[in-house]
Amino acid sequence: MDHLLIRGGRRLEGQVAIDGAKNAALPMCVAPLLTDEPVRLHRIPHLRDVDTILSTISSLGKEVRHDGNTVEISCGGALKSEAEARYVEQMRASFLILGPLVARLGHAVVPLPGGCTIGRRPVDLHLEGLCAMGARIEEFPDHVVVKAEQLHGARISFPYPSVGATEHLLMTAALIRGETRITNPSREPEIGDLINLLRKMGAHIVVGKMSIRINGSEHLHGAEHTIIPDRLEAGTYLLAGAITGGEVQVMGVEPGHLRSVIEVLRRVGMSITESSETIRLLGEQRAEPGHVVTAPYPGFPTDLQPLLVALLCLGRGESLVEERVFESRFAYVHSLNCMGGRIRVIGRKAVVTGVNMLVGAKVPALDIRAGGALILAGLAAEGETVIYHPEHIDRGYASIEEKLALIGAQIERGK
313 is catalytic: no
Q: Which DSSP string corresponds to 176-200?
A: SBSEEEEES----HHHHHHHHHHHH
CB 234 within 8 A of CB 250: yes
Edge-to-edge strand order for the sheet containing 136-139? 107-111, 143-147, 136-139
Gyration radius from the chain CA atoms:
21
Q: What is the DSSP letter of 150?
A: S
**Roughly how many angstroms between the first and final C-alpha of the chain, as a whole number?**
5
Which residue of the set 116, 131, 313, 338 is catalytic? Answer: 116
289: Cβ–Cβ under 8 A, 6 or more apart, which residues? 268, 312, 315, 316, 317, 318, 319, 354
- Residue 8 φ/ψ, nearest 5 degrees: -85, -175
| Closest by CA position to 268, among listed 234, 300, 297, 225 | 300
For 242, how many CA atoms within 13 A lie in the half-sphere containing its CB? Answer: 34
Whole-angstrom distance, CA of residue 258 vs CA of residue 281:
13
Q: Let me know how long the chain is.
A: 415
Which amino acids are annotated catalytic? 116
